[in-house]
Amino acid sequence: MEYILNIVILVGLYVILSSSFNLIIGHGGLISIAHPIFYAIGAYCSALLSINFHVPPVLGILAGAVLAMLVSAAVALPSLRISGDYLLIASIGFQLGLLQLIEQLDFTGGPGGIGNIPGLIDGPQRSLVFAGIVTVIAVFVVLLIRALMNGDYGRAVRAMRDDELAFSMLGRRAMKIKLGIFAFGSGLAGLAGGLYAHYYQYVSPEQFGILQSSMILTMVVVGGMSSTLGPVIGAGLLVILPELIAFLNLPPSVMAPVQGILFTGLVLVFMFARPQGIIGASTKRRGGLAEAGQESGR
Amino acid sequence: MFEPVILAQILWTGVANSSYIVLLTVAFALTLKVLKLFNFAQAAVMATAFYAMFFAYGTLHLPPWLGIAFGLLAAGVVTAAVEIYGFRVLRRRRSSSLTVFIFTLVISELLAHVFALCFGTEPSTLFPSIVSPVRLIGGLAISDWDLGAVATTAVLLIFLVSFVRFTKSGQALIAVADNAELAELYGIDVKRSYMLTLLVACLFVVAGMYLYGTRSGVIPETSLDLLLSAVIATILGGIGNVYRAAGAAVFVALVQSFSILFIASRWQGVLTFAVLFVTILLFPEGLKLPKMRFFRLTPSVRPSMNAIASPAAAPSNEP
């Protein structure tokens, strides 16, 4: 039971992460893969506040989300002047640079990370209650993003993404929109980070590296970019499938690579066999991401 | 601390240590120049090259030159497969830069997992000993590895310059890099040029990984870390200019070497990524230096990964 609850919690956290990432990359068209660093900022901020200042975990998690939002806005202001390939590489530089910094600082625990983080919930039903909380938050996040993207703001975001020049010519400020979705998406990642820290009670820099970027990116792509349900499906599939390998009782030195091979192999299969993602077709019908149509090989 | 001999030693060590980064940077920058894509799949080729040589020496007990040939063969096969079954398909579909990026990253991760499964995750070197005989020349400690690394890099760079300047295939690469559509109209086989570019890059990758593997331990993820240094140098040199990228690789290595005079070595990693981040924000076109007209692979305007769909769409100011 504990094992299943763990998976439910992981799926919930990844739903928040992939949905918020989809907001930035799918809806906003901002090619940044630094999402895990905001996840890390939320996790570290919340953990450090709880350990060093005895801040209640709930407040710590909220503070982590706000800090992630503020840092992302501070980074976005200069970074979003550039776009495309450059933004992508800049985001990698920012993510890995900040992780290196976290690894070198003493108060963040260095490469070993931070342990003994106070739990959000204690007691025998801890996992069950936490799974419920994460599920509710994940559903709320998905519905919030759906509402946001189906409204006037969402239309403005899509217009900016599809033709920034035309959008600007209409007197709208593209930078404001970019900044808004970047900060909001990153804040949600920070929220997921805080939840992660207070459930697993341990964080280390290696959990937020380029592999994490790749995993979240894959969830969005496999599920279907710029659709609301795509990242949810992607997160569920890519958390559960590798876990099934665990039932083979392979030694750990074999298990991790096999899971990795399955995971990356699945991405490649989707990339070439169904590039629009699992539920990309509905996106296409609604006139969503043009790329879905382009890449379906029509 | 600032005695001339110490500074000279740091300079020499920095130059020698930059050799494999220069080779990897040239491979990355050349691919970017001609194929117009940030080829993170180079990390897969790097890992393949290293582990093929590791297998050749450790298990097959092949002599050094045959081990290198084995590494070249394995890396070449992976390179060709990535181009034929990956890039060509994505190009045909006019895939976005993001899709291409994901493909290159995922293929690198896939092979890293495969090598972790086959060879484990403990650091490995190509030969049991990485100690190289050292001689004192003018007060400088210079190892055989240093000399071999610098000589190999110089020879390969001369090969690249000669290949590009004096062979038809090399000229074709320039034409394709400038305007692939126009090049095709003039009868140049663009697909062949793309493949040739990747294979030349593969040669540099194998040499770079041989040098690195005879000096340091490698784990399956090492290649991605090393590649990031090449990315930094490529951007610093100004995207689209192969030789400036090589120069930038030396510059980054020297900055790292000399930084030990001012900051603890543990901060070198932070420094490297700070350089990358600041460079992109402040100098997205790279640091501007006087043009070196000696070489033909001069910069065009910045390419875009989007241009993989239509390389000809990338404009050029090349004469």
Residue B152 pLDDT > 90, yes or no?
yes
Query: What is the pLDDT at residue B256?
Result: 80
Residue A185 has, within 13 A of its CA and on its CB side, a CA count of: 28
Burial, A155: exposed, middle or buried (Cβ in 10 Å; 0-12, 13-18, 19+)? exposed
Query: What is the pLDDT at residue B67?
Result: 96
**Chain A residues touching B234 at Cβ < 8 A:** none
Name residues 85-144 of chain A within 8 A of B (Cβ): 85-86, 88-90, 92-94, 96-97, 100-101, 103-104
pTM of the model: 0.82
Query: What is the pLDDT at residue B25?
Result: 96
Query: Cβ B95–A267 below 8 Å, yes or no?
Result: no
**Among partner residues A85, A96, A294, which is closest to B273 by beta-carbon distance?**
A96
Query: What is the pLDDT at residue A169?
Result: 83
Query: Cβ B109–A89 below 8 Å, yes or no?
Result: no
Residue B97 pLDDT > 70, yes or no?
yes
B314 falls in which pLDDT band (50, 70, 90)?
very low
Query: What is the pLDDT at residue B285?
Result: 61
Query: What is the pLDDT at residue A65?
Result: 97
Query: What is the pLDDT at residue B87?
Result: 95
**Chain A residues touching B305 at Cβ < 8 A:** 84-85
B31 falls in which pLDDT band (50, 70, 90)?
very high
Residue B141 in 3-state DSSP?
strand
Query: What is the pLDDT at residue A12?
Result: 96
The set of residues, in sequence order, having a beta carbon less than 8 Å from that of B146 and lying 6+ positions away, is B12, B13, B16, B132
In this prediction, residues B18-42 reach a mean pLDDT of 94
Query: What is the pLDDT at residue B287?
Result: 58
Query: What is the pLDDT at residue A285?
Result: 44
In our burial notation (b when 16+ CB lie closer than 10 A, e otherwise), range A18-29 reads bbbbbbbbbbbb
Query: What is the pLDDT at residue A287?
Result: 43
In this prediction, residues B257-286 reach a mean pLDDT of 75
Query: What is the pLDDT at residue B307?
Result: 40
Q: How much is the mean pLDDT over chain B?
A: 85
In this prediction, residues B52-75 reach a mean pLDDT of 96
Rounded to the nearest angstrom, the minimum Cα separation between A268 and chain B is 7
Q: How much is the mean pLDDT over chain A?
A: 86
Query: Cβ B281–A79 below 8 Å, yes or no?
Result: yes
Query: Cβ B113–A260 below 8 Å, yes or no?
Result: yes
Among A30-39, A170-179, B170-179, B271-280, the least confident range = B271-280
Q: How far apart are the first and last CA of chain A?
A: 46
Query: Could you say which residues of chain A have pLDDT below 50?
Result: 281-298
Query: What is the pLDDT at residue B80?
Result: 97
Instruction: Kindly give the pairing relationship between strand B134-137 and strand B140-143.
Output: antiparallel
* Strand-pair partners of B170: none
Count how many residues are written for chain A. Answer: 298
CA of A25: which chain B residue's CA is closest? B98
Torsion angle of C-alpha atoms A13, A19, A25, A27, degrees rounded to 10: -170
Q: Cα dist. B284→A93, B260, B262, B279 in Å?
A: 13, 27, 27, 6
B284 falls in which pLDDT band (50, 70, 90)?
low
Query: What is the pLDDT at residue B313?
Result: 37
Give the DSSP H or E segment for A263.
helix A252-273
Tokens of B191: 């697909």
Q: By percentage, how much of chain B surpasses pLDDT 90? A: 58
Residue B246 pLDDT > 50, yes or no?
yes
Query: What is the pLDDT at residue B75?
Result: 98
Query: What is the pLDDT at residue A123?
Result: 83
In this prediction, residues B149-159 reach a mean pLDDT of 96
**Among partner residues B97, B266, B273, which is closest to A84 by beta-carbon distance?**
B97
**Among partner residues A90, A217, A291, which is closest to B281 by beta-carbon distance?**
A90
